[in-house]
Amino acid sequence: MPLESKFSEVAENRLYSLAYNKSIREHKLMASRCKKCGYLSIPPKPVCPKCHGSEIDVVEMKGGGKIAAYTVVAVGAPLMVEEGYGREKHYCCGVVELEEGVKVCARILGVDVSKPEQIKVGTPVKMDFVETFHAADPTHEEGERTFLAFTVLEKP
């Protein structure tokens, strides 16, 4: 691949990720859908990861899904530590399979993190958002940030 098209691909990916972050701030979850094969990607991608087609629609997800995998974290990522999570305050994150069939990683809310064995794969969840304040880092200014999350609809 020539260097210029590699640069334009990186630039296009960057535009897609900026647009994705903006949609999360507006409490919308967007996916790209390949016009050729129908493959869905979150975050949206300018090129289909399955068939490499570049004719893409960006579509909004309804927000329903189920837990496909999860973990309860005691030694958190720096952003989570900044929010007060850690050895004394665990959190759950996981993979949610949306009703549209695409999977996405996010925080899982409404579960008892002190009893991880009671969290069940297949539990229905609905899209939610977490608004928190964070200090500046190399990619963000200090301020409110919005994160994708899912809340459990029914206790197992």
Counting contacts by CB under 5 A, is residue 37 touching Zn ion?
A: yes
Query: Of the two residues 36 and 140, which places its CB atom closer to Zn ion in the complex?
Result: 36
Counting contacts by CB under 5 A, is residue 34 touching Zn ion?
A: yes
Q: Which long-range contacts (CB under 8 A, 24 or more apart) does 21-28 make?
A: 23/60, 24/129, 24/146, 24/147, 24/148, 25/146, 27/129, 27/146, 28/60
Residue 54 backbone zone (phi > 0: left; psi -120 to 50: alpha; other: beta): alpha
Counting contacts by CB under 5 A, is residue 101 touching Zn ion?
A: no
Counting contacts by CB under 5 A, is residue 108 touching Zn ion?
A: no
CA atoms within 13 A on the CB side of 153: 11
Residues 10, 11, 51, 130: which binds Zn ion (CB under 5 A)? Answer: 51
Counting contacts by CB under 5 A, is residue 25 touching Zn ion?
A: no
How does 69-79 read in b/e, with b if 16+ C-beta sit within 10 Å?
ebebbeebeee
Query: Of the two residues 37 and 81, which places its CB atom closer to Zn ion in the complex?
Result: 37
Counting contacts by CB under 5 A, is residue 53 touching Zn ion?
A: yes
Residues 6, 50, 62, 120: which binds Zn ion (CB under 5 A)? Answer: 50
Counting contacts by CB under 5 A, is residue 35 touching Zn ion?
A: no
- Which residues lie near Zn ion (CB under 5 A)? 34, 36-37, 39, 48, 50-51, 53
